[in-house]
């Protein structure tokens, strides 16, 4: 008899969602987490799109430790001394679509609910290797000890060294991974409401581009309950090619007047960092094999489409589907690849692979360098000139716009890029 | 805690974050390889500036590591493979309170 029906590596959203489902099905499941507590190693932007957690976890959203519910979406094009912002306000939010979240708090809470359902969670337990016998994964090696299982679910996040060791996944190439630096600024609930013009548990999700001096990347501001999350996300390859440090780009962003106006006077209380996988549908690795399944970031389930970042809803859904596949294998007492392949079928029928397939060209669309340099500048130039009245003759609106676009010879690029964006994102 | 409107040195910023520091480093750097490395990719991808170029040598301040794993990708694919990097032992390293 193995030590567990299922061993889950990693108590992030994917791992916890898998364990929740398996425990509910009455399975004997052990979760191993290398951190001091679940969430202690986990960083997101971020906001969670709530559809997946609503569907998979039978606890009301109002009882979950979300920070704020997003009622305002902003996209800012930043230049040195000006900015242009697009703002969408939802005034009648009966059913919130997304909520801001701090993972050290959220994952810890979630892990307690998973334990209540009957799963065992062991923290400070780093899995060093997988047990391989006769071509089957039969469990894990943790702190020099063997722990055996019928199925192992790898939910260890973006780096996924175990999947790499198994040969299911290759290491990242520099153009398919981004680096993020993030800061937490304490302002207090009242002050945040005042500065961002919010009520109760209302929140803002704000994406910003144009300040990275040509580096492929952008920034974000999310309002949490009593703190504000600010950060930058840049393509690893682009940082090295431009010889710019992600730490310095974070400082430029934090000290930019457009960001300072929100956080001035607050206290910086934490600094963190994380990677995101920008693999795209075509580079998703093989995610099942004899005795093993891969879920969440470890499987490369992440989507960046301009201001939209998605990974948490994919992590929750894929974790839950991995649990379902493992349960089917346990019922059949057959842990072969042929049986576990059902996981792939479940994913294909779900929003996870549907959306990743649908937006498979988004990594290419957002890798367009003009998005980070000339376009934010162009938008700022046009608006600045449109609004400029100083007693001298001001050209007509049409000629301001067309002159700016034509002067830079950008019209052809612009039309093509607009077409590409609309088709990919 | 730190004032939010002043430039911070990297060690000031890291003083904000909680660590349980292992006595043993989870990062090793082979300066024989770094000697011939043109890009010095490690210097740009780390939010904690763990890697420092001092007197022609790369030093790794492992105790500041935020455990992203970006350095090893950068070093092995754009540098000269000088870095050996693994996660710290279970329960050691960075402990985010917010995340
Ligand atoms: C800056 C940033 C902004 C983002 N913004 C958004 C957003 O707005 N919306 C959104 O939906 N997504 C966003 N994402 C993506 C999202 O955060 C991830 O997709 C999601 O956290 C993935 O969850 P996971 O469970 O797969 O991995 P993780 O949350 O990384 O969990 C992996 C777990 O495994 C543990 N672990 C790793 N190795 C081992 C080991 N060997 N042994 C034991 N335990 C191990 C880790 O400690 C961790 O707890 C963002 C990501 C970043 C970096
Ligand atoms: S990138 Fe790697 S090989 Fe190059 S200097 Fe840095 S550690 Fe050395």
pLDDT by residue (tens digit) across A352-405? 999 999 988 887 778 788 888 888 888 898 999 989 999 998 888 888 888 888
Give the count of beta carbons closer than 10 Å to the beta carbon of residue A315: 31
Distance from CA of residue A383 to its chain's centroid? 32
What does the pLDDT average to over A227-247?
97
Instruction: Report how far residue A339's alpha carbon sits from residue A2's, in angstroms, rounded to the nearest whole number.
Output: 19
Domain that holds residue B29: 25-89
pLDDT value of position A362:
82
What distances in angstroms separate CA A393 from CA A103, A381, A386, A387, one per listed residue?
Answer: 54, 17, 12, 13
Of B66, B36, A283, the residue nearest B51 (C-alpha):
B66
What does the pLDDT average to over A219-226?
98
**pLDDT classification of B9: cutoffs 50, 70, 90:** confident
Q: Where are the alpha helices (DSSP H) in A334-373?
A: 337-340, 342-349, 351-358, 362-365
Q: Which of residues 222-281 of A touch B (CB under 8 A)?
A: 224, 227, 229, 236-237, 239-240, 242-247, 250-251, 254-255, 260, 263-275
Three-state SS for A357?
Answer: helix
Write out pLDDT tens, residues A68-127: 999 999 999 999 889 999 999 988 777 899 999 999 999 999 999 999 999 999 999 999
What phi and psi, each to the nearest 5 degrees, are found at residue B76?
-75, -25
Minimal CA separation from A222 to chain B, in Å: 13
Please say if the pLDDT value at position A172 is more than 70: yes
Q: Is A41 exposed, middle or buried (0-12, 13-18, 19+ CB in 10 A)?
A: buried
What phi and psi, each to the nearest 5 degrees, are found at residue A216?
-70, 105
pLDDT value of position A92:
76
Instruction: Please name every residue paired with A186 in a beta bridge, in sequence order, or none if there are none.
Output: A227, A267
Q: Following CA atoms A370, A376, A379, A385 in sequence, which dihedral angle do they give, to the nearest 10 degrees?
A: -120
Tokens of A198: 């919010």
H or E stretch at A376? helix A374-386
Residues in chain B: 99
Residue ranges per structural domain of chain A:
4-65+102-171+281-361, 175-277, 365-424
Three-state SS for B84?
Answer: strand
Q: Which residue has the higher pLDDT, A352 or A419?
A: A352
Q: Percent of chain A having pLDDT more than 90? A: 78
**pLDDT classification of B15: cutoffs 50, 70, 90:** confident
pLDDT value of position A395:
87
Mutate to test the interface with A, among B52, B53, B66, B68 (most CBs of A within 10 A): B68
What is the 8-class DSSP label of residue A281? G
pLDDT value of position B89:
96
CA of B79 from ligand 2 middle (Å) equals 5
Residues in chain A: 425
What phi and psi, each to the nearest 5 degrees, are found at residue A191?
-65, -40
Interchain contact, B48 vs A173, CB within 8 Å: no
H or E stretch at B10? helix B10-14
Question: What is the sign, positive or negative, of the torsion defined by CA atoms of B80, A127, A295, A115?
Answer: negative
Which range, of A21-35, A336-350, A389-403, averages the lowest pLDDT? A389-403
Tokens of A95: 């059913």
In angstroms and rounded to an integer, the radius of gyration of the C-alpha atoms of chain B is 14
What does the pLDDT average to over A45-64?
96
Tokens of A112: 């307690």
The secondary structure of A83-149 as a DSSP string is EEEEEEE-S--SS-SEEE--HHHHHHHHHHHHHHTT-EEE-S--EEEEEEETTEEEEEEETTEEEEE
For position B48, which CATH number holds? 3.30.70.20
Q: Is B34 contained in some domain? A: yes
**Any residues with CB less than 8 A from the CB of B22 and at least 6 apart, and which?**
B88, B89, B92, B93
Q: Where are the alpha helices (DSSP H) in A181-245?
A: 189-196, 236-242
What does the pLDDT average to over A19-29?
98
Question: Residue B84 in contact with residue B5, Cβ under 8 Å?
Answer: no
Mean pLDDT of chain A, nearest integer: 94
Write out pLDDT tens, residues A179-217: 999 999 999 999 999 999 999 899 999 999 999 989 999
Q: Is B72 contained in some domain? A: yes
pLDDT value of position B2:
66
CATH of A4-65+102-171+281-361, one of 3.40.50.720, 3.90.1720.10, 3.50.50.60, 3.30.2130.10: 3.50.50.60
Residue in B3, B68, B95 nearest the CB of A40: B95
Fold (topology level) of A175-277: D-Amino Acid Oxidase; Chain A, domain 2 (3.30.9)
pLDDT value of position A408:
64
Q: Do strands A202-209 and A69-78 pair parallel, antiparallel, or not at all (unpaired)?
A: parallel
Question: Residue B47 in contact with residue A273, Cβ under 8 Å?
Answer: yes
Three-state SS for A185?
Answer: strand
Give the count of beta carbons closer than 10 Å to the beta carbon of residue A1: 6
Q: Which of residues 26-45 of A touch B (CB under 8 A)?
A: 34-37, 39-44
**Any residues with CB less than 8 A from the CB of A250 and at least 6 apart, and which?**
A181, A182, A183, A231, A232, B47
- For ligand 1, mutation pick of A38, A51, A236, A312 (most atoms within 8 Å of CB): A312
**Any residues with CB less than 8 A from the CB of B57 and at least 6 apart, and which?**
B31, B34
Instruction: Please name every residue paired with A272 in a beta bridge, in sequence order, or none if there are none.
Output: A182
Please say if the pLDDT value at position A294 is more than 60: yes
Number of structural domains found in chain B:
1
Burial B22-53 (b: 16+ CB within 10 A, else e): eeebbbebeeeebeebebbbbbbbbbbbbbee
Tokens of A351: 């929003």
Minimal CA separation from B21 to chain A, in Å: 12
**pLDDT classification of A155: cutoffs 50, 70, 90:** very high
Number of cross-chain residue pairs from A and B with Cβ atoms under 8 Å apart: 165
Question: Residue A22 in contact with residue A31, Cβ under 8 Å?
Answer: no
pLDDT value of position A409:
66
B65 touching chain A per CB within 8 A: no
Q: Which ligand is the nearest neighbour of the Cα of B32?
A: 2
Give the count of beta carbons closer than 10 Å to the beta carbon of residue A4: 23
Instruction: Please name every residue paired with A87 in a beta bridge, in sequence order, or none if there are none.
Output: A74
| Maximum pairwise Cα distance, chain A | 87
Q: Which atom from ligand 1 is nearest to the alpha carbon of A35? A: 47
H or E stretch at A274? strand A267-277
Reported pTM: 0.95
Interchain contact, A43 vs B99, CB within 8 Å: yes
Q: Is B57 contained in some domain? A: yes
Q: Percent of chain A having pLDDT more than 70? A: 99
Of A392, A421, A418, A394, the residue nearest A405 (C-alpha):
A418
pLDDT value of position A269:
95
């Amino acid at each position: 008899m193995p030590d567990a029906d299922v061993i889950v590596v990693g108590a992030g959203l994917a791992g916890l969602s898998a364990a929740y489902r398996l425990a509910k099905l009455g399975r004997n499941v052990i979760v191993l987490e290398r951190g001091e507590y679940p969430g202690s190693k986990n960083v997101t932007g971020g906001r969670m799109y709530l559809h997946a957690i609503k569907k998979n976890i039978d606890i009301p959203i109002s009882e979950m430790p979300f920070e704020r519910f997003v009622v305002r979406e902003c996209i800012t094009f930043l230049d040195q001394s000006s900015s242009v912002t697009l703002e969408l306000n939802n005034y009648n939010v009966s059913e919130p679509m997304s909520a801001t979240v701090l993972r050290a708090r959220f994952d810890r809470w979630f892990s307690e609910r998973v334990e209540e359902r009957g799963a065992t969670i062991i923290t400070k337990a780093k899995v060093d290797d997988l047990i391989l016998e006769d071509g089957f994964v039969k469990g894990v090696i943790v702190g020099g000890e063997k722990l055996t299982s019928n199925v192992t679910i790898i939910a260890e996040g973006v780096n996924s060294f175990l999947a790499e060791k198994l040969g299911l996944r290759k290491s990242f190439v520099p153009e398919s991974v981004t680096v993020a630096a993030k800061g937490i600024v304490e302002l207090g609930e009242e002050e945040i409401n005042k500065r961002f013009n919010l009520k109760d548990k209302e929140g803002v999700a704000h994406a910003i581009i144009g300040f990275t001096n040509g580096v492929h990347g952008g920034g974000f501001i999310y309002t949490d309950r009593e703190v504000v999350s600010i950060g930058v996300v840049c393509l690893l390859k682009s940082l090295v090619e431009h010889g710019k440090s992600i730490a310095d780009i974070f400082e430029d962003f934090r000290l930019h007047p457009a960001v300072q106006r929100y956080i001035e006077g607050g206290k910086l209380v934490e600094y963190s960092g994380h990677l995101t996988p920008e693999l795209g549908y075509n580079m998703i690795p093989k995610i099942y094999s004899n005795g093993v399944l891969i879920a969440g970031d470890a499987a490369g389930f992440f989507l960046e489409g301009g201001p939209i970042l998605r990974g948490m809803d994919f992590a929750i859904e894929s974790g839950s589907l991995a649990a379902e596949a493992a349960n089917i294998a346990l019922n059949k007492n057959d842990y072969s690849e042929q049986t576990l392949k059902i996981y792939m079928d479940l994913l294909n029928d779900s929003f996870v692979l549907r959306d990743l397939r649908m937006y498979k060209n988004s990594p290419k669309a957002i890798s367009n360098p003009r998005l980070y340099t000339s376009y934010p500048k162009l938008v700022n130039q046009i608006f600045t000139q449109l609004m400029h009245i100083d007693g001298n003759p001001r050209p007509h609106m049409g000629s301001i716009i067309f002159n700016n676009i034509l002067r830079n010879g950008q019209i052809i690029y612009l039309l093509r890029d607009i077409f590409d964006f609309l088709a990919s994102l | 805690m730190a004032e939010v409107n002043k430039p911070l040195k990297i060690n000031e910023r890291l003083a904000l974050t909680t660590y349980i520091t292992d006595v043993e480093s989870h990062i090793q750097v082979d300066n024989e390889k770094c000697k011939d490395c043109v890009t010095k990719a490690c210097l740009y991808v780390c939010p904690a500036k763990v890697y420092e170029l001092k007197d022609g040598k790369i030093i790794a301040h492992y105790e500041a590591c935020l455990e992203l794993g970006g350095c090893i990708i950068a070093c092995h694919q754009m540098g000269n493979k000088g870095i050996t990097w693994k996660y710290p032992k279970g329960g050691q390293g960075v402990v985010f309170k917010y995340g």
